[in-house]
Amino acid sequence: MTEYINNVSFEELIVKYLNNPDDDDVKHEITICFYLLSDNIIRAFNFKLIDKEDALQEGVLACLSKVERFDPNRGKAFSWFTTIILNHFRQLYRSCKNDINLKRRYLERQIIGKTQTIFEGTSSELSENVAYRIRRNFEQY
């Protein structure tokens, strides 16, 4: 398998697919091209929060879902599908980042609830320094 995509043959393959979307051989070849393009983008940009295998499948599926919208008169196939994959990966990255922030805030609130019960006097073995830190962290929320 090649490590790069020839833009001219890639566009010819896409036009062939658009003319006959039921041809399984062309569909297989175009899927391999999308796979290679997604793999190269994953290696180039190194998105750290998303799973590489899931991102690879998501990139291929995003391209397959939008291949009918491609117009060879409006641009090159390589740049068009690269933009689709990058935008999809950025959205995945933002979603993962938001999920991580939500989990972090939830866990912080759980810790605050536990420290509030300690702060209210259920534990008499608190030193002044610990009580001050808990009070300061609790007042932030």
The CATH number linked to 56 is: 1.10.1740
The reply to whether 40 and 66 lie within a common domain is yes
The predicted-structure confidence for 58-106, as pLDDT tens digits, reads as follows 899 999 999 999 888 888 888 899 999 988 888 888 887 777 777 777 7
The reply to whether 73 and 127 lie within a common domain is no
The reply to whether 57 and 104 lie within a common domain is no
Contact present, 70 and 11 (Cβ < 8 Å): no
Residue 1 is assigned to a structural domain of this protein: no
- The tokens for 11 are 């566009």
This prediction's pTM: 0.65
- The tokens for 52 are 């590489």
Determine the structural domain holding residue 115 and report its residue range: 100-139
Residue 48 is assigned to a structural domain of this protein: yes
